Amino acid sequence: MRGLLEALLDWLDERLDLRHWLDVAKKKQVPVHPGSVFYYAGGVCVFLFMVQLVTGILLLMYYRVGADSSYESVRYISSKVAFGWLVRSVHSWGANLMIFFVFVHMFSVFFMRAFRKPRELTWMSGCVLLGVSLAFGFSGYLLPWNELAYFATKVGTDIIGQVPLAGHWLLRLVRGGEDVTGATLSRFFGLHVAVLPAVLSLTMGAHLGFVQLQGMAHEKEAKATMPFFPNFMLRDVMLWLVVINAVAVLAVFFPWDVGKKADALASAPAGIKPEWYFLAQYQFLKLLPARILLIPGELWGVLTLNAVGLFWLLTPFWEAALPESKKDAAVRLAGWGSVALLVAMTLWGALS
Amino acid sequence: MKRALALSLVLPLAAAGRAVFAKDQCVACHASLEGKHKAILRSFETDIHRESGLSCASCHGGDPSKADAAQAMSPEAGFTPAPSPADIPAFCGKCHSDPGTMKKYNPSLPVDQAVKYFTSVHGQRLKKGDDKVATCVSCHTTHAIRPSKDPLSSVYPKNIPQTCGKCHSDPKRMAPYKIPSDQAAKYVRSVHGRALLERGDTAAPVCNTCHGNHGAAPPGVESIGRICGMCHSQNEQFFLSSPMAKPWKSRKYHICATCHTEHGIQHPTPELLSPDKGLCSRCHKPSSEPIRDAAAMRDKLVQMEGAYQSAKSAIFIAEEKGMDMSEARDLWDGSRMSFYQSRTAVHAFRPAKVAEIADKGIEAAQKAKKAADDAVEEFRFRRIGLGVASLLITFLVLAIYLKVRDIESRPS
């Protein structure tokens, strides 16, 4: 067996200079310090994206987009297709865990100040990846065309209509008309299975490329390091296995419900709320009064959320502009403030 | 937009009503009096007539601009005092029987109430000089009249048993008429009463649904089936086509009430067809053919109910485990339909008819139960699969951990 693997490696090495790349990986060092455990979050995000890709392709084999076929095909997948329930539940739970780990990865990078020069582009491409992951969640949520998905999309896209000047035009563009209909479903499907995977793959490629080119932050000042390959890589794989096991447990004990078919004429179910990753924003918008200084409260909310997003995206630049003595305090304040606010607003949204 | 339009129409009317009411000398004078004279004003505050811009003089005539009571309430000014019971239908009918007047206020309201009233037992007796019978104000109140859709109205469906019961539950009052006074008490405990009063289902029948409101009369032998058939149309059709219809007619039996009673109708169970304790044994001899037929129908209904309930429990168990039971639920819905249809088919008094419908339902219920049981089995399989997968993953994680330790224990 070992001989066969060596022969295969030799064959590939002759053609692709594989051993050179393995040497590069072996030379790559990962800093070892109390916060090193957070380095694995990025790897888990990549792994879960792969899981999403594979399960998404499997779902595509049976999913039929359309107001009169989406719900039925998802119901068919969940009840008739062999292991269809597993694939669908793994896709749904995987999506939620992926977004969770993207947040963990982002905050760990923030608190380790790994966004500082020369890693501004790595940080910014990471922010784009967060945005694309959320767009994946939002667009995928509608695809089963059930009651909850329908109303969540209706409320979510209503917010787009609040954008000044272009709001109504954007709303029509996203929905494919005035209301959430089969046209919206087709658009979200196209976005979910073609546009977003392409954007995420390219951005992730660039993001990983930047990491490889620039190496890990704090590598030089770290007291100890470990080789990326195989030491770090094997630990990564261990965590991936634990994560996929956790996803399987969730899929078996909490399979994703198909719900009731979307009905535009029905009233919205009582207590309807968005997915947990939009709850904080939703709660914030809910708190705003109808009008502030004659301008609709929701518009203020949308502008504020966009401003906060831009502020977060430009972290490497505003942090660099601060006096050296205030940098650490500012990062701690912004970081812990954001975590506390997100957790508090999410819990408030969930419990109210 | 619609709300704005409605408000723009209603608000000026209400405002005008209030303005007129404010300058009204009837109001000024009655406000300074005590007791029932003052109470009239308080009750009239929420009256639909006042909301529509009408005042005391609209019904009683007189001159509300005069502060002097004698002038304001003089016969010359057209004043009509509180009418006697015999005059009340005509008094209200001045407007309510006039399509022209009613069009101005509520074109959707019928104008035949007074005509219908005189066809009712109440109206007939009033004509004969009995002034203790119900007239318009007995049910609608005198000065606190609200539309029947208002939950506070005395004629809102949930309040009707109490409104009718004011007189009909009073044994002293009913004694001269030789009619019972327990109808409202029986109704409250009946399947219809519980639906209306406990579940708040305002579509459930109440006194006036069967007796009529303005033309209130007890349904006769001929009409009771028609009245129940307004809602239970299939039961009526089955019964009229059954072998029981003819003897029932010749013996002048009420087609529904003979078995189900009138006011205290209870939820029917298959035991109504029981050979020994059932209703059929009241007339038919034990072990006669009708009793055997009844027993056969009872057995089929019990079988149907058993299959239906068993499928329901199985689906519940599977759903508790997070299994998708939408298909089983569709089948169960079909069996539920058959369950109700087979109970209805009993009124045809043909066991084969009941069996034909019930068997379809039993089959659907059995399929639903099998789907639910299969889902529970599938859930067990999933757990076993998860257990095996978790073991393999744990083994792999351990193997990698040992490999990492091995690598890191070697000198670099």
Alpha-carbon distances, residue A268 vs A74, A135, A216, A284, B239 (angstroms): 21, 23, 49, 21, 43
Q: Given this model, what pLDDT does residue B8 score?
A: 47
Question: Nearest CA to A328 among A116, A42, A10?
Answer: A116
Which of A207-211, A247-251, A265-269, B171-175 has the lowest average pLDDT?
Answer: A265-269
Question: Nearest CA to A284 among A347, A334, A352, A345?
Answer: A345
Q: How confident is the model at residue B92 (pLDDT cuts 50, 70, 90)?
A: very high
pLDDT at B391 exceeding the cut of 90: yes
Number of helices (H), then strands (E), in chain B: 23, 0
Question: Rg of chain A's alpha carbons, rounded to an integer?
Answer: 23
pLDDT digits over A301-316, tens only? 989 999 999 999 999 9
Q: Given this model, what pLDDT does residue A184 score?
A: 95
What's the rounded Cα separation, in Å, for the pair B390 and A91? Answer: 19
Tokens of A16: 């692709």
Q: Given this model, what pLDDT does residue B315 score?
A: 96
Question: Who wins on pLDDT, A268 or A11?
Answer: A11
Q: CB neighbours of B50 closer than 8 A, spacing ≥ 6? A: B17, B21, B44
For residues B298 and B270, is the Cβ–Cβ distance under 8 A?
yes
Q: Which residue has the tokens 């689906």?
A: B315
Tokens of A187: 């658009």
CB contact under 8 A, B389 and A258: no
- Phi, then psi, of A102 in degrees rounded to 5: -65, -40
For residues B20 and B55, is the Cβ–Cβ distance under 8 A?
yes
Q: How confident is the model at residue B3 (pLDDT cuts 50, 70, 90)?
A: very low
Q: Given this model, what pLDDT does residue B2 score?
A: 45
Residue of chain A whose alpha carbon sits nearest to that of B383: A252
B388 and A CB contact within 8 Å = no
As a residue count, chain B comes to: 412
B7 and A CB contact within 8 Å = no
Alpha-carbon distances, residue B298 vs B45, B291, B301, B346 (angstroms): 57, 10, 5, 9
Question: Nearest CA to A233 among A10, A86, A24?
Answer: A24
Q: Which residue has the tokens 């979050």?
A: A41
pLDDT digits over B298-339, tens only? 999 999 999 999 999 999 999 998 888 888 999 999 999 999
Q: Given this model, what pLDDT does residue A45 score?
A: 97
- Concatenating the DSSP letter of every residue in B314-359 gives HHHHHHHTT---HHHHHHHHHHHHHHHHHHHHGGGT-HHHHHHHHH
Which residues in chain B are contacts of A230 at CB distance < 8 A? 404, 407
Q: Given this model, what pLDDT does residue B311 score?
A: 96
Mean pLDDT of chain B, nearest integer: 89
Q: Summarize the confidence of residues A142-161 as an average pLDDT.
A: 91
Q: Given this model, what pLDDT does residue A1 score?
A: 67
- Phi, then psi, of B338 in degrees rounded to 5: -65, -35
Q: Where are the domains of chain A?
A: 31-259
Tokens of B292: 């055997």
Q: How confident is the model at residue B188 (pLDDT cuts 50, 70, 90)?
A: very high
Q: Summarize the confidence of residues B101-115 as an average pLDDT.
A: 91
pTM, two decimals, is 0.70
What's the rounded Cα separation, in Å, for the pair B47 and B150? Answer: 11
Q: CB neighbours of B297 closer than 8 A, spacing ≥ 6? A: B270, B273, B346, B349, B351, B354
pLDDT at A19 exceeding the cut of 90: no
Q: How confident is the model at residue A159 (pLDDT cuts 50, 70, 90)?
A: confident
Tokens of A221: 């000042």
Which of A22-31, A87-96, B99-108 has the lowest average pLDDT?
Answer: A22-31
Question: Nearest CA to B239 among B313, B330, B80, B350?
Answer: B350
A335 and B CB contact within 8 Å = no
pLDDT at B222 exceeding the cut of 90: no
Q: Given this model, what pLDDT does residue B31 score?
A: 87
Q: Given this model, what pLDDT does residue B21 score?
A: 53
- CATH superfamily, region A31-259: Cytochrome Bc1 Complex; Chain C (1.20.810.10)
Estimate the crossing angle of helix A147-160 against helix A182-190, to 10 degrees: 80
pLDDT digits over B341-367, tens only? 999 999 999 999 999 999 999 999 999
To the nearest whole Å, the CA of B310 is away from the closest chain A CA by 22
pLDDT at A196 exceeding the cut of 70: yes
**ipTM (interface predicted TM):** 0.85
Which residues in chain B are contacts of A254 at CB distance < 8 A? 322
What's the rounded Cα separation, in Å, for the pair A4 and A1? Answer: 5
Residue of chain A whose alpha carbon sits nearest to that of B389: A245
pLDDT at B131 exceeding the cut of 50: yes
What's the rounded Cα separation, in Å, for the pair B384 and B96? Answer: 76
pLDDT at B153 exceeding the cut of 90: yes
User: How many alpha carbons lie under 13 Å from residue A3 in its C-beta half-sphere?
Assistant: 0
pLDDT at A47 exceeding the cut of 70: yes
Size of interface A-B (CB pairs under 8 A): 53
Q: Summarize the confidence of residues B269-296 as an average pLDDT.
A: 89
Which residues in chain B are contacts of A249 at CB distance < 8 A? 386, 390
Amino acid at A1: M
List, in sequence order, every residue forming a beta bridge with A291; answer none if it has no partner: A296
